[in-house]
Structure 1
Amino acid sequence: MDSNDQEHVRSLIPFAQMPDDIFNSMIPFITLKTYAPSKMVFKRGDADLLLYWLMEGSVDLLDKSFEARNRKSKDENARYVLDSHEPHRLTAITTSNCRLALIPRSTLGEFSENLDAGISLDRTLEDDDGVDWMSALLSSPLFEFIPPANIQTLFSKFEEVEYAAGEVVIRQGEPGDYFYVIQSGRTKVERQIAGKAQLLAELKAGDNFGQDALVSDEPRNANVTMLTDGTLMRLAEPDFEHLLMAPVIETVTLEEANEMIAAANPKTYILDVRNPKELETGKIENSLNVPLLLLRKNMPKLITDAIYITTCNNGKRSKLAAYQLNESGFTGYVLEPNKET
């Protein structure tokens, strides 16, 4: 930390109120970190060992209703910690290139014992009802792709629907119409195979479902039934496509894919998500094959920091594969359908 940075940190609260000897003893524990735009600094509901001050740039602070308040480094309240609560009551997302000062919460706590009572760490007190469905959804890696300005619009489009135990929410074979997030209650996901119901999963509050049919434009591939009474939040297909899917799905040409593979920075693979029998008609040289229905099951075998470019015969399954990869924290692109073989 150079002298200019040290002077800036010294002006922040509570450092500005500390005796020199206490502030100087804290300097080794203070870290300055840079963030690109649209990055999540911390998330509502998370326990965090660090405290954050905005040195440069601007961030959006989102409360439990996803109402956003923008804080700029030039604002007077930028002298205060972004959110001192543990767990966090706010979500912080950068809206520009930012630099933040970080210090371990426990370190400041120890030194605070030497300070006058009443040092204010925070000016953003919020009512805390615990982690809700919006916080759970926001924790998805997908939200790294969503522009911060769109987040409030996205959540405003959800509508609340009550369901009774035993009620079917989604029927296998029907067209997709909504994306769902469970606000309360539990559901089961079953697939009919040869007339028999195969249990795929049980979902709880905070989990989501229904996106596969919307992304692939294929019929629903499973039944979803309420195990208990519950409340679901649903997002209509047009809003899902515009606000959630469009920022996530990015295409590349075969020429661009080959350039990425040759550069190998990071290592890049073409992932064919067709069934093995379909490969008899031909496939891209050196491509990997993981059928779409087995992709989620095989994700633990994939390389975390690699890039996967998905392909099929018409682009529908490859879009869903790329969505699933990005949803799970991987980096997935779609090979342009008219370039696929």
Structure 2
Amino acid sequence: MKCTDMEKQLEDLKQQLEKQCFINKELQRQNKDLEIRLQEKERLLQQLQSQDSEFPGHSGNEVQEFRKSRAAVIAPEPIAETLEISSTRVKKNATETSLIVKAIQKNDFLKRLDDEQTTMMVELLVLFKFKPGEEVIKEGSEGDSMYIVAAGELQVTQAGQDLRTLTTGDVFGELAILYNCKRTATVKAKSSVRLWCMERQTYRTIITNKSKKKREQILGFLKTARTLKDLNDVQLSKIIDSMEEVKYQDKAVIVREGTEGNAFYIILKGEVLVTKNVSGHQKQIRRMGKGEHFGEQALIREMLRTATCTADGPVTCFSIDKEVFEETIPIEQLELFDDSKVMQQDAEVPEKSSPSSTLRFKDLVPVMYQEGRYQGDPVTLGVGGFGRVQLMTTLNYGKYYAMKQVSKKQIVVKRQEEHMLFEKKILKAIQCDFIVRLHATFKDTRYIYMVMEFCGGGEVWTKLKEVGRFDEPIAVFCTACVVEAYVYLHKKNIMYRDLKPENLMLDMKGYAKLVDFGFAKELNRGDKTYSFVGTPEYMAPEIIKNQGHDFAVDFWSLGILIFELLAGSPPFSSSEPQKIYAKILDGVLKYPPYLGEAAKSIISKLCRPRPGQRLGNTKNGIKDIRNHRWFSSMNWHKLRVGQLEAPTVRLVRKGPAYINFDRFAQDQTKAEEEFSGWDKDF
């Protein structure tokens, strides 16, 4: 009896197991199904996001976008120092002005211009008329103007497909006022159309000259403050970079008598009444206007306010608080001068000359792919806007080189001659283990060639895409290498301006090196430069606002790099450049939950909107970055002398010289010849 019971139980168990197996199989099948559908969705999303458009459809909800493709770069354009503006001012009536202002306020990017910039936009827009069927913008052409529809209707098409209709008050082509970009759609007049138009050269020259004038004016105001009279222009410039613009409504109290003083103010616009409490009544002492300042004692002494300052009508001030001031200016006044002595000593150290400078062009031979679909073709390590980088070797030494080959014609078309010559000059002079070496340069009628040190570990960008995001020790190590490169460059008064994972290469030991100095620039301390340059996701707010920038932009991009290395995508990203700029100007950093406290702290300190408040750009300089707790495990001395075991080394694969690089097909086309002679010193 017991035996048959046992058999029955066994039979039941067997049936249950079979049933469970069947359910498991069914669940696996459904999972597989879901996975395929998810992949398909991901692919469609990517396709949608990769369609960069100046004419986005109106989708309300933003998807979390990851940077899957290499960043586009924007080369600096020369800017006219003086431009005859008066002739281009066009009178507008109240209705026209109102329409333009509304259009600006509705636009994601333009609404972030300040009041003065908006007023200038309104004044300088010029009216154009188009007949039905006329083309305003052609897809694929270079853009140099933005438009606001004053009246009429236009049709936007992309690759022959209708995208949308533009009507009165719509803005289009606005990216073109920032930089030279390809038009991504065609815009045709459907009816008779009137358009307000603004050219890039006009816009940038005005904004730039205005920023310069405002800066000079504030510098003049600061020089009249007794407390600051012993500071030099470099230090005063740092103060300007740390100041915030603040607005007050009529009757707002800016400073109250008897409270603790913690800020210094300069009046930019409006008037301020100064009153004192006398026997319980407010007695007016004086009235202050543009250029006058108050509260300077608060910067150096613990003092209570001795009077009340109230806005009489709307007031705009420039202000700096005590804490920021102390970070910016060393009270002992000497550090900056010592710094310049150090720089001079550095400059006098004779550079080691590169041993392979006897390299001859005819000694270089291309390395070929040994297997795969490109077997027998020359190895291409990378492809850029102006040319490509090839892997070369020499018959005698058997040493590897990366040779950058750039079309001379393209350089002239894009007006980049000066930048190329400067890149060569910088790289020739640099002897730093964290920056790729330039061994020799050559030219022929079509190309210039730069023969560089070969970094066999590949691009940090490629590695990041392979693993999704880096573990903290790898991110710390890569960033530390960049910090060392910055120390070297900034001492030589060189800004880098193009930091991103694509411009970091690993050598076979896993050490990271900066490459591509096309956007680097020499700048004296205290000076500013006004070009619109860089990679959108990595651009500092002051570049987008045309306020003039300096070395502080390198610290901003360092914060963005740390974020991208740890999260796999930069903090401000979108498939539409104008959305990226809008996000940068909003400055809201959203951290993924897995980011540690120290990482969040260093990123937020490097990505402060005011350049003078950024970590690395206050009075202790780069020392503050090295001393931040995120780098607590870093032995800086061992890093400099190359004695650290690099955690990145596990990302470097062993095999043929090109194993760590993406593969590229051979380019059979030849660049046009170019004979203007700009490259005579190459």
TM-score scaled by structure 2? 0.18
Greater share of helix residues, 1 or 2? Answer: 2
